[in-house]
Amino acid sequence: MLAGKHILLIIGGGIAAFKSLDLIRRLRERGATVTPVLTRAGEEFVTPLSVSALAGQRLYRDLFDLGDEAEMGHIQLSRVADLVVVAPATADLMAKMAGGLANDLASTLLLATDTPVMIAPAMNVRMWEHAATQRNLATLRGDGITVVGPNDGDMACGEFGPGRMSEPLEIVAAIEARLNDGPLNGRRILVTSGPTHEPIDPVRYIANRSSGAQGTAIASALAALGADVVFVTGPADVPPPSGVQVVRVETALQMQEAVNAALPVDAGVFAAAVADWRVTSASDRKLKKSKDGLPMLEFAENPDILKSVSQMTQGRPKLVVGFAAETNDVIENATAKRLRKGCDWIVANDVSPATGIMGGGENAVTLISDDGAEDWPRMGKDQVAKQLAARIAEALK
Ligand code: CTP
C-alpha cells in the first residue's frame, strides 16, 4: 500500500516515542522509505542507534550540522518526502508549529516544508485539554494538518483520559488514507454517527435503535476516497472504521461540542440519530422505587446539531448532508426537514419496523437536494455509503 512512498518521521520527546520504533517497522513492511528525525527531547526516550537501525537510513538530529547542510539542506530534506509525520507530537512541538517557530531541526523542517503534514499527539491529559493546546490544535487543523488521535486510556503518568498516542497501525491507516490519490484527497469531512445516550440516572439512559452501521460505512467510504475524516460517534453497536479520527461521545450535548471542535471542514455528513430530548435533572444517584409513586422525568430539547452547522454564517462547510429517518410520508417530511434545517442534501429513509432498515444491513434511500428527490434502489449500507461518497466527491470538485 505504501510502496514507493517516502515518509519523513519526526520523533518528539515523549514516552510514546517507543511506539514510533514499531511505526517505522510497520511503514517499512508496507514498502515505505522512512527518513527519521529525532528531536533532542526524543533522544531521552529512544536511542539514535535503534531509530536509524530500524529505519535502515541515516538519522537527522541537529540543525547546525555543517556536514548535513552541505549534503542535504534541511529545506530539501523536508521536501523530498510525500508526507511529514510527527509522532509523538508533544504539546511543545504543537505549540512551535502553531506559532511558526524554527529553532531546531524538527521545527525548521516543519516550517520549511511544502509537503502535507500529519501529527499524532501524545501528552498528559491536562496538557491536552489545556486551552493553549486546544487553541494550537485548532490552528494546526486550520493550516491543513492532519491530526491522528490521541486515544483515551491509562497514561504513563498514572492519569486517565485523552492523550495517549494512537497505536502504530492506526497511524499507518491514517497515512495510507492521507497518501491515497483518491478524489477526496486533502478534503476534511465530518461524519456523525450512532445513537446518543441521554442519562436518567447513573445506570439508566434513554437511547434509540441506531446501530451506527450506515454512518460507519459512510466514514469508511469517504476515507477510501482519500478524505481526512473526523468520525464523531455515539455508543454504536459496530466498531468505528480504521483510518479515520474517532471521537467518542455519549450525549447530544457532547456530540455538539465534538462537532464544533472538529470545524472547519469541507463537508459534514450528519448520520447520527441524535436524541431530540434530554432529561433535565438527571439524578446523580440511582432512582429507587418508592411508595410515593412513579418518578417524573422532565425533558429539555437538545440542540439541533445539523441545523446549527447548516445555518452557520461564517465558515459553513461547502456541503452539509443530513439524514431523515421517517416512518410515514417519507419524501414529504424529508423535503420539509431539508428546508427547515437548511442543509444541502437530505438522505431520507423509511425506518418503519417492517422495512428492517434500522439495525439491518440494507438501506433504501432517497437523496433530496435542490435538484429534487432521487430514489436509490434498496442495497447494502456499504453500497449506499460508496454511492454517497462518490456524489460528495463530485460536489466538492
Ligand atoms: N440531528 C442533529 N441534531 C439533533 C437532531 C437531529 O444533528 N438534535 C440531525 C440528524 O443527525 C439527522 C437530521 O438531523 O441528520 C434529522 O434528524 P431527525 O431526528 O430525523 O429529525 P428531527 O429534527 O428529530 O425531526 P422530527 O422530530 O420532525 O423527526
Report the CATH fold assignment for 6-179.
Answer: Rossmann fold (3.40.50)
CB 341 within 8 A of CB 304: yes
Range list of H helices, 301-375? 305-310, 330-341
C-beta of 274 in contact with ligand 1 (< 6 A): yes
| pLDDT at residue 63, as a whole number | 60
Cβ of 212 less than 6 Å from ligand 1: no
Long-range CB pairs of 309-315, under 8 A, 24+ apart, other chains included: 309/259, 309/263, 309/268, 309/270, 310/341, 310/342, 310/343, 310/344, 311/341, 311/342, 315/263, 315/264
> How is the chain split into domains, by residue range?
6-179, 188-395
Joined grid coordinates for residue 255: 456530540
Handedness of CA 101, 22, 142, 196 (dihedral sign): negative
pTM of the model as a whole: 0.73
Q: Is the confidence at residue 144, as pLDDT, over 90?
A: no
Q: Which helix (H) or strand (E) holds 386?
A: helix 381-395
**Average pLDDT of the segment spanning 82-88:** 97
pLDDT of residue 117: 95
**Closest C-alpha among 130, 129, 99, 97 to residue 10:** 97
| Centre of ligand 1 from the C-alpha of residue 294, in Å | 30
Kindly give the distance from the C-alpha atom of residue 349 to the centroid of ligand 1, in angstroms, as a whole number.
13
Catalytically active residues are 157
- The preferred substitution site among 276, 278, 350, 365 for testing ligand 1, maximizing ligand atoms within 8 Å of CB, is 276
240 pocket-lining for ligand 1 (C-beta < 6 Å): no
Strands 204-206 and 245-248: unpaired
Cβ partners under 8 Å of residue 51, min gap 6: 11, 20, 21, 24, 36, 38, 59
Query: In the β-sheet with 188-193, what is the strand arrangement from edge to edge?
Result: 245-248, 228-233, 188-193, 267-270, 319-326, 345-350, 365-369, 372-375
C-alpha dihedral sign at 216, 219, 223, 228 = negative
Query: Which is more confidently placed, 358 or 266?
Result: 266
Residue 51 Cα, ligand 1 centroid: separation in angstroms? 50
**Ligand 1 contact via 210 beta carbon (within 6 Å):** no
Longest CA pairwise span in the chain (Å): 85
What atom of ligand 1 comes closest to residue 271's alpha carbon? Answer: 11
Q: Look at residue 366 and give its three-state secondary structure.
A: strand
CATH class given for the domain over 188-395: alpha beta
Q: Give pLDDT tens digits for 193-234.
A: 999 999 999 999 999 989 999 999 999 999 989 898 999 999
Beta carbon of 305 within 6 Å of any ligand 1 atom: yes
The more confident residue out of 154 and 379 is: 379
Q: Which three cell numbers stand for residue 328?
A: 410515514
- pLDDT band of 72, cuts 50, 70, 90: low
The reply to whether ligand 1 has any atom less than 6 angstroms from the CB of 272 is yes
| pLDDT score at 324 | 95
Amino acid identity, position 327 = T
pLDDT, tens digit, 9 for 90 and up, residues 161-175: 889 999 999 999 889
Which of 249, 256, 259, 304 for a ligand 1 pocket mutation test, highest count of atoms within 8 Å of Cβ? 304
Cα torsion 189, 250, 216, 166 to 10°: value is 70
- CA trace torsion 177, 181, 184, 190 (10° rounding): 10
Ligand 1 atom closest to 346 (CA): 15
Question: Using one digit for the tens of pLDDT, what is the confidence trace for 11-53?
Answer: 999 999 999 999 999 999 999 999 999 999 999 999 999 999 9
**CA atoms within a 13 Å half-sphere pointing along the CA-CB vector of 54:** 20
Strands (E), 148-304: 151-154, 160-164, 188-193, 198-201, 204-206, 228-233, 245-248, 267-270, 277-279, 299-301
**Coil, strand or helix: which one is 318?**
coil
Is the beta carbon of 344 within 6 A of some atom in ligand 1? no
Per-residue pLDDT, 1: 77
